Structure 1
Amino acid sequence: MIFGYARVSTKDQNLDLQIDALKKAGCKEIYSEKLSGRSKKKPKLEELLGQLREGDILMVYSLDRLGRTSKELINLLSEFKERSIQFKSLQEGVFDTTSAMGEAVFQIIAILKAMEVQVLSERTKDGLTAARARGKKGGRPKGSYNKSKAAAAVTLYQRELPISEITETLQISRSTLYEYLRREGVKD
């Protein structure tokens, strides 16, 4: 059976491109998740690995979706080889990991992908350092402060209403509620 695995790094990102490509390539069952590739635990990937049987094919859109480091990718490849599972990546070309040449190409590309991730990380850090040197601040912009909602939030909070009820009543997020309480000087 052909299984697919799709992953994006944040909840704001969309899996559609990967899932569509995997379906087009013949995947019968696709496991997907939204979490950083740096996460040690990938529950859906672990679940998928438990489902794979001898002769199955695991397909991903791109190598970096499966793992972020060459060591991680090579360990998975070794596991696939031991369990007689084939692996294919759509972006880097179709690999036949049962052949020596396919395995060698996989390892080379895994190393290049890991290097690409490292270079991107370094560029991001350098860019942030340069921006800070120019007085720019990173992070999420401050939201607008609604004084009347803040006062209402304080009142409801002091009445010891459940947090979920306060946020629903005022149509605000939990983080906004806590920001209002902090700005209004309310201690937990």
Structure 2
Amino acid sequence: MAIYGYARVSSADQNLDRQISSLNNAGCEIIFEEKVSGVTTERPELKKLLATVKKSDMVVVHSLDRISRSTIDLLNLVDELKMKGVSLKSQNDTWLDTTNDNPFSEFLLTVISGLSQYERKMIKQRQREGIEVAKKKGKYVGRVKKYSDKHSGMNHAIHLYKQGDMTVKQICDITQVSRSALYREAKKYINGEKTP
């Protein structure tokens, strides 16, 4: 088992020392350092970390806002690490500790996932209402493309998964791809068996 740390600051002139000191104290053997805004989807050091970790490893962060851009991003990250058999621990957010199948941590992640799904449903409802209003005003120009076959549905599912803006459940609901099939296909990309 290896313990990896991940530290990030939002710009090149900010200092990583406090996070690195904290991660060293937590026993991290290797620390991936990132100087990039959390808003961007391009986080090369995080990608390297995810490509490096193996089963039974642990990832430690100083706080969750250092590794995730949003609630959905966090849930997708936890899902991806679970698929690899890797645990995640936050030093500041002590409720998140998946190292020992912590039931409290699992409970909170379930609650957060539920809230994210609720938020997504509300967004969809507002979109539907907006479309109805646009139709009545004669301004509706089309509808979202439907994926009629299994292969294109999986391609769309992988595309959404890589974007990191939705939970696995949300992706499966939208694309009608099963969770197990998506995990199998996503794992091929994670392990480098396939390229985008």
TM-score for both structures, normalised by structure 2: 0.53
Instruction: Decide whether aligned partners of structure 1 residues 82 and 17 sit closer, same or farther in structure 2, where only a CA change above 3 A counts.
Output: same
Q: What residue is the counterpart of 1:88 in the other structure? A: 89
Q: Hey, what's the Cα distance between the residues in 1 that align with 2:34 and 2:82?
A: 24
Could you say what secondary structure the match of 2:12 adopts?
Answer: coil
Q: What residue is the counterpart of 2:62 in the other structure? A: 61
Amino acid at match of 1:104: F
Tell me, yes or no, if structure 1 residue 49 matches structure 2 residue 50. yes
Q: What residue is the counterpart of 1:104 in the other structure? A: 107
Find runs of 4+ consecutive structure 1 residues off by over 2 angstroms.
Answer: 98-101, 103-111
* Alpha-carbon displacement from aligned partner over 1:139-159 (angstroms, at most 9, x marks no partner): xxxxxxxxxxxxxxxxxxxxx
**Aligned sequence identity (%):** 41
Q: Is the 8 A contact 1:70 1:107 kept in 2?
A: no
Instruction: Decide whether aligned partners of structure 1 residues 47 and 67 sit closer, same or farther in structure 2, where only a CA change above 3 A counts.
Output: same
Q: Hey, what's the Cα distance between the residues in 1 that align with 2:110 and 2:47?
A: 21
C-alpha RMSD of matched pairs (Å): 2.2
* Alpha-carbon displacement from aligned partner over 1:57-111 (angstroms, at most 9, x marks no partner): 0000000000120000000001111211110000111633233422233566798
Pairs within 5 Å for 1:21-170: 21-93=22-94, 95-97=96-98, 98-106=101-109
Q: Hey, what's the Cα distance between the residues in 1 that align with 2:54 and 2:69?
A: 24
Q: Hey, what's the Cα distance between the residues in 1 that align with 2:48 and 2:82?
A: 18
TM-score for both structures, normalised by structure 1: 0.55
How many Å apart are 1:17 and its aligned residue? 0.3
Q: Hey, what's the Cα distance between the residues in 2 that align with 1:29 and 1:85?
A: 15
- Max radius of gyration: which structure? 1
Could you say what secondary structure the match of 2:18 adopts?
Answer: helix
Q: What residue is the counterpart of 2:6 in the other structure? A: 5
Q: Hey, what's the Cα distance between the residues in 2 that align with 1:26 and 1:78?
A: 24
Q: Hey, what's the Cα distance between the residues in 2 that align with 1:105 and 1:90?
A: 16
Q: What residue is the counterpart of 1:184 in the other structure? A: none
* Unaligned stretches of 5+ residues in structure 1: 112-188
Q: Hey, what's the Cα distance between the residues in 2 that align with 1:74 and 1:3?
A: 19
Instruction: Decide whether aligned partners of structure 1 residues 68 and 107 sit closer, same or farther in structure 2, where only a CA change above 3 A counts.
Output: farther
Instruction: Decide whether aligned partners of structure 1 residues 9 and 109 sit closer, same or farther in structure 2, where only a CA change above 3 A counts.
Output: farther
Q: Hey, what's the Cα distance between the residues in 2 that align with 1:39 and 1:7?
A: 12
Q: Hey, what's the Cα distance between the residues in 2 that align with 1:68 and 1:104?
A: 21
